[in-house]
């Protein structure tokens, strides 16, 4: 049953009491924040598997993890991710590793009688020309944007798996689709970072070098919606508590901005005063991204609260302080 209003949500103040929770990817950017939110909601028994101990691409590791942790709930956040450049260079790795991690873990979770499995999908699964705002029912109306299609399709297969296991076995698997994340602790490695950390790093390095020019990819015309990672983590925890349906659910902020305006905003906030030059030989990626987030609001009460520029300032401040200790 899908809750349709706050009046129908049960009191979940004790939901996590006595429950053992596995958070794959729980030491990563979003995962570490999810772990904090779980603790704030009352979860005391949280297991964060490390890849050196449990390489989930290997099915035997998924079986061993579940046998060792004996979880009631699994939040599957582990993923091989990256920006356009990384997706173009490693499409096979992104497809294989994301598919194998998720599908084997979900299968072993069902076999072991795990109560609930929460899959974190990706906005990259949506068709390239999805009408804006993206509605969950449009997920299958076309092929994803080519530069990240292998990754997006691999993650979308976990939606199919969860729905099939629910239909045949009654397995409680839910599927959430966060839009582009950002926030303190993000990945700032230029070989694999997404657009916000990549631009922050570029602008700060150009500022410090006294450069008169900074090169940005594409032509700046695509638009993106971004959601602050702490907001997303709260949405994931609320869904784990309140949502038990088969349909995918978007998690976003409803704030859409063009890459050109985003780049100019980051340049202003970082103090880079040079010229921004657009390298149109580089790909733009998907033309627009903006989600319909009404399901998350109506079905489990999630609304993002962080104003975009405020979140951006916090992210820049964090990087300014941490960058000398980062790779």
Catalytic residue list: 151
Taking the C-alpha atoms of residue 114 and residue 210, their distance in angstroms, rounded to an integer, is: 56
The answer to whether residues 255 and 311 touch, using CB atoms and an 8 Å cutoff, is no
Q: Is 195 exposed, middle or buried, given 0-12, 13-18 or 19+ CB atoms closer than 10 A?
A: buried
The answer to whether residues 308 and 255 touch, using CB atoms and an 8 Å cutoff, is yes
Pairing relation of β-strands 73-76 and 116-120? parallel
Which residues lie below 8 Å from residue 249, measured CB to CB, with a gap of 6+?
136, 174, 175, 176, 177, 239, 243, 295, 296, 299, 300
Taking the C-alpha atoms of residue 236 and residue 133, their distance in angstroms, rounded to an integer, is: 21
Label residues 35-67 b or e (16+ Cβ within 10 Å = b).
bebbeebebebbbbbeeeebbbbeeebbbebbe
Label residues 151-188 b or e (16+ Cβ within 10 Å = b).
bbbbbbbbbebbbebbeeeebbbbbbbbbbbbbbbbbb
Q: What is the DSSP string of 297-308?
A: HHHH-------H
Taking the C-alpha atoms of residue 119 and residue 159, their distance in angstroms, rounded to an integer, is: 8
Taking the C-alpha atoms of residue 37 and residue 237, their distance in angstroms, rounded to an integer, is: 7
Taking the C-alpha atoms of residue 281 and residue 185, their distance in angstroms, rounded to an integer, is: 30
């Amino acid at each position: 049953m899908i809750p349709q209003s706050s009046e129908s949500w049960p009191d979940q103040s004790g939901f996590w009491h006595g429950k053992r929770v596995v958070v794959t990817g729980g030491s990563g950017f979003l995962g570490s924040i999810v772990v904090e939110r779980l603790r704030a909601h009352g979860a005391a028994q949280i297991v964060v598997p490390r890849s050196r101990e449990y390489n989930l691409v290997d099915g035997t590791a998924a079986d061993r993890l579940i046998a060792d942790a004996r979880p009631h709930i699994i939040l599957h956040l582990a993923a091989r991710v990256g920006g356009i450049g990384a997706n173009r260079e490693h499409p096979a790795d992104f497809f294989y590793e994301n598919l194998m991690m998720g599908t084997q873990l979900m299968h072993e979770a069902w076999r072991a009688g795990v109560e609930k499995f929460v899959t974190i999908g990706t906005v990259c699964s949506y068709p390239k020309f999805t009408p804006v705002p993206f509605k969950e029912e449009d997920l299958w109306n076309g092929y994803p944007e080519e530069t990240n299609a292998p990754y997006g399709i691999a993650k979308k297969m976990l939606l199919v798996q969860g729905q099939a296991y629910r239909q045949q076995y009654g397995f409680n698997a839910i599927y959430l689709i966060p839009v582009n994340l950002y926030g303190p602790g993000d990945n700032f490695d230029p070989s694999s970072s997404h657009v916000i950390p990549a631009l922050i790093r570029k602008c700060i390095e150009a500022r410090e070098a006294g450069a008169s020019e900074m090169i940005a990819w594409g032509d700046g015309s695509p638009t993106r919606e971004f959601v602050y990672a702490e907001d997303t983590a709260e949405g994931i925890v609320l869904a784990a508590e309140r949502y038990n349906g088969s349909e995918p659910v978007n998690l976003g902020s409803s704030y859409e901005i063009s890459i050109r305006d985003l780049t100019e905003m980051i340049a202003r906030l970082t103090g880079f005063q040079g010229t921004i030059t657009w390298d149109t030989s580089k790909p733009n990626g998907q033309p627009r991204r903006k989600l319909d987030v009404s399901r998350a609001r109506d079905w489990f009460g999630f609304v993002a609260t962080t104003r975009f520029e405020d979140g951006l300032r916090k992210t820049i401040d964090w990087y300014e302080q941490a960058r000398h200790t980062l790779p």
